[in-house]
Amino acid sequence: MKQALKAIFYSFPVQLVLLHIKKFQLLLIFWVVLFAAVNGSFMASFGVDSLYLAPEYLGDVNAMSAAIVGLAVGVFIMGWNITTFILFSRHFRFLATTTRPFLKYCINNFIIPLAFLLFYLVKAIAFGMNQELLTAFDIVILAGGFLFGFIFIIALSFLYFFRADVTIARHMFAVQDAPKTVAYGYRPHIVLNSGGSRLIKVTTYLDTPTSARPVRDVSHYSKEFIETVFGRHHFAAILSVFASFVFLIIIGFFLDNPVFQLPAAASITLFFSILVAVSGAFSYFLQSWSMPFLILLVIIINILYKYNVIDATNKAYGLNYSKNVERAAYTHESLASLCTKEKVEQDKQNMIGILNKWKAKQGVEKPYLYFICVSGGGTRSATFTFNTLQRLDSLSKGELMKKTFLITGASGGMLGASYFRELYGQKQSGKDIRLQDKKYADNISKDLLNPVFSSFIARDLASPAQKFSVGDYTYSKDRGFAFEEKLNENTGGVMNKQMKDIKDDEANARVPLMFFNAVVTGDGRKMIISTQPVSYMMQPVHDTASLGHMEPDAIDFNALFVKQNPMNLRLLTALRMSATFPYVLPNVWLPTTPVVDVMDAGFRDNFGLDGCTRFVNVFHDWIAENTSGVILLQIRDRKGGEWDYQPQPNNVTEIITKPVLTLQYTWYKMQQYNLNDVLALTEKSFGDRFKKITFQYVPGEHEKAVTLNLHLTKSEKLGLYQTLKNEYNTHSFKVFEELQR
């Protein structure tokens, strides 16, 4: 028994695992991330596990989508084998004397890849049954698709290396000198005697998946011969990596075609393949010069960026970024000039005119003034918001949008609300649209993540910049563009407009106004995008005689960029600016001096309440005189007021990371505390004429919460619809319905 265990321990497969652990642990990080992602332990709140376990392609989870992920996993495994073969070959020189050394290496390097494949299949089967609600037949088809894709790419790779082996053998037989002393037969040697490694000891290796052989003594081969054999295999391996990179570039050029928009899991895995392969290529070509070269490369890229030779920034599509046009000054003085007393009064009178037009359409002397505030939260919030608006519109007998004056909020909620408003506008213009049709809810819940990741890998990183135009202005295609195009495709093109296209409808109160918000990363100010001038939103309502001057904490986008053609901005871009979650979507850089960039509105006000209450307080007198009061409809994608205390750290790692993660965990709670103060003051100002009705997504008792993601599973979509029927929301709908009588 002891001898058997010793033989297993000193076998090549086991020693390779130990070698991976001893050297180049960095390469194992990719495996750790993949295992954690599939297990739901990595970025669980963003639903990364669903991207792997239920991959979506062309709008469906099917055998093709699974096969593409199988292909990507196969590419990653081959890339990992290639890279480690290049880095480790000096530790197992006995392979140089075998036929097809790389194949032998892959056979023996099976433990980690096989463990991942088995783990993935077990998790995918369970996920398909419980989350995607698939039948046993569907699960078999998906598993078969994954395995087909994986086996296909592995077979294709080995076919390439078989041909390379033949070519290498021909060259080697032509140049090989006579061996020193030919020793026939095999002897069980440790690799120290047959290759010179002091890190691993090998007595046997797998010649085929089912047969083992003792390690052969290679002392009779010259060092130059062995290094030449490995060197030619290394070069063949590098060529295969280069071919993969060229393939990604080709995909990047055709990414506008949905056929080339890979499942997000495939894009992520291919990205890992590139990182692994690049590290191997650097080590092979540059040896000990790898790190100095990398530092030099970073310096060169920074210089090229500094002098605008390369431009990695994302733009607001529709704005004029031309250097021939004077850029907006982003200074204390310039912002103060946008909200002077005279300018604020002028803009208030403009808005009062729209309020009067809204009132004239209500048919009663003093109608309730409705506001809708929606929360951020990716596709989860977009879908829940849309489902809620459909229900509210039904209860109001199709008059919800007519009664609503302003919609504001952040991120995903604004996607759903904007889609609903545009459908309402189309219906008002005479198109045959039934707002309660389930297909519209299905549209807004469709995947947005796959094209974003595909673009990031194949276009942002690999392909040269491609251009597109909005009017007279040209921009580079990146994952921000991919997001907008996919959202436009999912929603049937109804939001493919510019701000100037919706200005007239908003100015005449045919549809509710919408304030699209973003946050300036440098100072936290809110950037308010609207078709109307909104200088009165730039400062809190205050008495200058008592409190003195207050700095503006918000910015009127149109006023700041008056010379950059702000009404040319795409509606889709305004929505993306409000939903720019870090890294998933690129920050949007604006043509100011100095340059500023903006990101997700949720970092300032994830619930839309801040903007709504400020608007209500600005027009307090008009509201008191012309309406029966304010009804604020809050639609949020998470439960408010619940007890969710973060426990004390249980280990040293948690102690170290807690200061960094505390803000992430408690940010929305701190927002809620501050907004509760604002709401209380507003309610005190209006008395019982101010009513807030809240609708919130709460997962069922035995239901996993829907992830904060741009991708939803079937069970998540069902859960977002079913939550409308919970006790809390049922009561809220009842209160709303009573107000319609």
Residue 628, pLDDT score: 95
Q: DSSP per residue over 698-732, as a string?
A: ---TT-PPPPSSS---HHHHHHHHHGGGSHHHHHH
Question: What ranges do the domains of the chain cover?
Answer: 2-253+260-306, 328-642+677-739
Q: How far is CA 241 from CA 61, 88, 171, 247, 270, in A?
A: 29, 17, 22, 10, 11
Question: What percent of the chain is predicted at pLDDT more than 90?
Answer: 49
Is residue 223 over pLDDT 80?
no
* Maximum Cα interatomic distance, the chain, rounded to a whole number of Å: 109
Of the given ranges (167-171, 376-380, 389-393, 478-482), which has the lowest mean pLDDT? Answer: 167-171
| Cα(285)–Cα(26) distance, integer angstroms | 19
Give the pLDDT mean for 458-473.
79
Tokens 């690799």 belong to residue: 191
Other Cβ atoms less than 10 A from the Cβ of 434: the count is 11
Is residue 229 over pLDDT 70?
no
**Reported confidence tier of residue 4, pLDDT bands at 50, 70, 90:** confident
Residue 545, pLDDT score: 53
Give the pLDDT mean for 370-376.
96
Residue 438, pLDDT score: 95
Residue 206, pLDDT score: 79
Give the pLDDT mean for 589-597.
94
Give the pLDDT mean for 428-444.
95
Kind and range of the H or E element at 605? helix 602-605
Is residue 176 over pLDDT 70?
no
State how beta strands 588-590 and 314-315 pair: parallel
Give the pLDDT mean for 578-589.
91
Kind and range of the H or E element at 529? strand 526-529
Q: DSSP per residue over 243-273, as a string?
A: HHHHHHHHHHHTTTSGGG---HHHHHHHHHH
- Which residues are CB-contacts of 415 (< 8 A; sequence separation ≥ 6)? 379, 381, 382, 385, 444, 487, 575, 579
Q: Report the amino acid identity of residue 484.
A: E
Q: Are 76 and 272 in contact (CB under 8 A)?
A: yes
DSSP letter at 112 equals H
Spell out where 582-672 has E strands. 588-590, 592-593, 596-599, 629-636
The predicted-structure confidence for 349-372, as pLDDT tens digits, reads as follows 999 999 999 999 998 999 999 999
CATH code of 328-642+677-739, in short, is 3.40.1090
Mean pLDDT of the residues in the chain: 84
Decide which of 548 and 49 is more confident: 49
**Reported confidence tier of residue 179, pLDDT bands at 50, 70, 90:** very low
Give the pLDDT mean for 446-463.
81
Is residue 309 over pLDDT 50?
yes
pTM of the model: 0.86
State how beta strands 467-470 and 473-476 pair: antiparallel
Please give the torsion angle defined by the CA atoms of residues 174, 176, 182 and 187, in that order, rounded to the nearest 10 degrees: -100
Residue 256, pLDDT score: 77
DSSP letter at 734 equals H
Of the given ranges (562-566, 617-621, 705-709, 715-719), which has the lowest mean pLDDT? Answer: 705-709
- Which residues are CB-contacts of 520 (< 8 A; sequence separation ≥ 6)? 526, 527, 555, 596, 597, 598
**Reported confidence tier of residue 212, pLDDT bands at 50, 70, 90:** confident
Q: Which residues of 706-722 are buried (b: 16+ CB within 10 A; e: fewer)?
A: bbbbbbbbebbbebbbe
| Cα(195)–Cα(687) distance, integer angstroms | 86
